[in-house]
Structure 1
Amino acid sequence: MEKQEETLKRWRLLLGGQNADGTGVSLNDQEKQIDEALSALYDFEQRGKFEYGPNQKGGSGASQPNVARWLGDIRQYFPTSVVQVMQQDALQKPELQKKLLFEPEILEQATPDVHLVATLMELGKLIPSKTKDTARRVVQKVVDELLEKLSQNTIQAITGALNRGVRNRRPRLNEMDWPSTIRKNLRHYQADYKTIIPEDLIGFGRKTRRSLKDVVLCLDQSGSMGSSVVYSGIFGSVMASIPSIKTRMVVFDTEVVDLTEDLNDPVDLLFGVQLGGGTDIDRALGYCQTVIQKPNDTILVLITDLYEGGNQQQMRQRMQEIVASGVQLICLLALNDEGAPYYDARNAKFLGDLGVPVFACTPDLFPEVMAAAINKQDLKQWAGDQDIALKG
């Protein structure tokens, strides 16, 4: 009989629903507390809010959310393996996730990835002081992993493109690019002498104190662009380490913030971004126009879904002015691995008609985009060769 009653109680706790569960069993005080802890999480959708606190009775009531107390209670009532499952289930609920991430213990257990960093960026200044150090460690871990994955290919692609653009055809001995010279002159191989006659000499470009290219990354920091902002911050930081490129980072919603000075520390840069809010592309482009000093040697990468909340007519006029000035304007609707993004098709078409390439880009492909832009290739043709669907 006791075994049967124990089984019914387990079913009662599993089913919830109090008197409507059909088991007909009653719970003691501790079992009611366990039931409340389960109901707070798994009846979340039915209630529409997280209810847990000392005033709650039998799964009803209007207690204020008390995530910290709930975390303490589930650790008391359930084994570690179950606690971990419940915490992970809670993190899957967007409305509850942000409250949980304020707890250092939960944040340490969460899977560190681009999406988690984007969520922390969205929380921004709301993160309590007790959690800030943990949040920074999480962001640092993701940043380190992305830098290890992306920096080498980015530097190789961009420096290779720059070197091709400044080839020295009359090099001194210490400026010789021997591998390129040998490949160029293989057709002049003399079999009798077992040597190559180097008719065309290729050398590395002479060092210069000025940048060969200016790059402006202009990032939409509205909530939908979270992962794109994370990747953009990483690439901006990598490009800022290349002496021959002058890189500027501008983020915007309805305000415009220049984060160029933070490019040497991508963690600080990402914490300087405040995701969410409206979108004023016109205002951001207006600021970019003021900082562009060498239009013919400038690449402006506008990363946005093109949903304009400001003056659309004036935004389009600025786009025309930027293109007419000689700036290479590229519009990336997204910079992530999340598939086709939502975007304003009318503004995309407007840019396309101006000759501006408009497409979504994966992080793995971004270095090649920049290399093609540095070499002033036809990016629309280049995108077609890469089977990238242009949206303009």
Structure 2
Amino acid sequence: MIDPGLERWRLVLGAPASALGSLGEKGQGRDEALDWLYGRDAENDGRGVRRARHQDRRGTDGESVVSTVDWLNDITELFPKETVERLQRDAVERYEIHDVVTDPAVLETIEPNPALLRAVLQTKHLMNPEVLRLARRIVEAVVRDLMEKMRTEVRVAFTGTRTRRPSRWKQARDFDMTRTIRANLGHYRPDEQRLYIETPHFFSRHRKHLEQWQVILLVDQSGSMIDSVIHSAVTAACLWGLPGVKTHLVAFDTSVVDLTSDVDDPVELLMKVQLGGGTDIHQAVHYGAGLVEQPRRAIVVLISDFYEGGSPEGLIRSVRELVEQGSKVLCLAALDEEANPAYDRETAQRLADVGAGVGAMTPGQLARFVAEQVGR
């Protein structure tokens, strides 16, 4: 039996590492599940890693063919949740096993997660109405989870800013560490190297006076921006209806689609998004500029990788005009939980040079930015 410390390497390397020892029953099941997926990678043969054993099976008297449904059931039992989500993501995104999200039998049983949401949005054009109805369950479940998390972040951002006045209301988020330490220094015990807190202190909050602002989200719906599309839809829904905020959501590729009428229903909105195609950012910014009602009370958020397929000069000119008229312009290369962007740095620098804020944000950071502007 293989040493437990070596089992992970045995599973990573597959059959070429069988000399490390034999696997137990559960280990064998994991090995077969990994082989079903990663064994189809021809590049592994050249690296001596996990040969595609299942491809060598011939005839009708060999091992039964494992279906996608069987495999999904197996990995759910054999691996922790985080690993299951990674395997599902690789199945769809790396090996394009589309029946993970287009097979009704799979969709009726699979546990929704963000990787599957991305897969549904990328493959929904392949689905018939019945399959699309089942796939919508994944969209609804993941969006619901995102909404619950993001609503909290938006609510905190718009609740009010901390002041330096002390407060009788004791909330952890308003804990005044500096004042608390100073007020309790007399309780420090050098022999224990501990400071005992007898009287904690807290900041107070004041509600912001809100006047009407526009938040115009322009979202690149090319395939590489899928995470940002998802989080933009949910962010727009969370901002929708807030006092003092009028939200617009516009998706674009080589054409522009105003999705504002569906902002309050992010599930319906995402089901209408068409991922892929070219990119005409200038056209989208020009459209967004036409929505501005009061320039000095408008925040235009362009979410794109900045690889312009239209007019780069027109894009820079349109952004410059928005900035010069007093609008806040944010050019975000990513709007998602990771905020790790890949983008055209030359175009991004040119946008920054004409006065736009350029970077990447999580939805919570964008909500705080909007709240700070609206509350001024």
Q: TM-score, normalized by length of structure 2?
A: 0.66
Question: Where do 1:230-245 residues align within 5 Å?
Answer: 230-245=230-245
Corresponding pairs, count: 286
Question: Where do 1:284-303 residues align within 5 Å?
Answer: 284-303=284-303
- Give the corresponding residue for 2:90: 92
1:17-46 Cα distance to aligned partner (Å, 9 max, x none): xxxx9xxxxxxxxxxxxxxx9987554222
* Alpha-carbon separation, structure 1, partners of 2:282 and 2:58: 50
Contact 1:337 1:363 (8 Å CA) reproduced: yes
How far did residue 117 of structure 1 move? 1.7
1:122-181 Cα distance to aligned partner (Å, 9 max, x none): 2232223332222111111111111111113313423647xx9xxxxxxxxxxxxxx9xx
CA RMSD in angstroms comes to: 3.7
Q: Mean alpha-carbon deviation: is it higher for 104-113 or for 340-349? A: 104-113
How far did residue 332 of structure 1 move? 1.3
CA, structure 1 residues 361+41, in 2 after alignment: closer, same or farther (shift >3 Å)? Answer: closer
How far did residue 301 of structure 1 move? 0.8
Contact 2:159 2:207 (8 Å CA) reproduced: no
Contact 1:307 1:344 (8 Å CA) reproduced: yes
Larger Rg: 1
Q: Secondary structure at the match of 1:355?
A: coil
* Alpha-carbon separation, structure 2, partners of 1:374 and 1:39: 54
Q: Which runs of 5+ in 2 are unaligned?
A: 1-13, 19-32, 45-53, 60-64, 164-168, 170-205
Q: Secondary structure at the match of 2:363?
A: coil
Contact 1:41 1:90 (8 Å CA) reproduced: no
How far did residue 232 of structure 1 move? 1.0
- Give the corresponding residue for 2:259: 259
Q: Which runs of 5+ in 1 are unaligned?
A: 1-13, 22-36, 49-55, 62-68, 165-178, 180-201, 377-392
- Give the corresponding residue for 1:71: 67
* 2:365 corresponds to 1:365: yes
Letter in 1 for 2:359: F
- Give the corresponding residue for 2:154: 154
Q: Secondary structure at the match of 2:98?
A: helix
* Alpha-carbon separation, structure 2, partners of 1:215 and 1:159: 18
How far did residue 330 of structure 1 move? 0.9
Question: Where do 1:207-286 residues align within 5 Å?
Answer: 212-286=212-286
Q: TM-score, normalized by length of structure 1?
A: 0.63
Q: Secondary structure at the match of 2:367?
A: helix
How far did residue 297 of structure 1 move? 1.0
* Alpha-carbon separation, structure 2, partners of 1:92 and 1:110: 15
* Alpha-carbon separation, structure 1, partners of 2:311 and 2:364: 34
* Alpha-carbon separation, structure 1, partners of 2:367 and 2:207: 24
* Alpha-carbon separation, structure 2, partners of 1:57 and 1:306: 42
* Alpha-carbon separation, structure 2, partners of 1:203 and 1:267: 32
How far did residue 83 of structure 1 move? 8.5
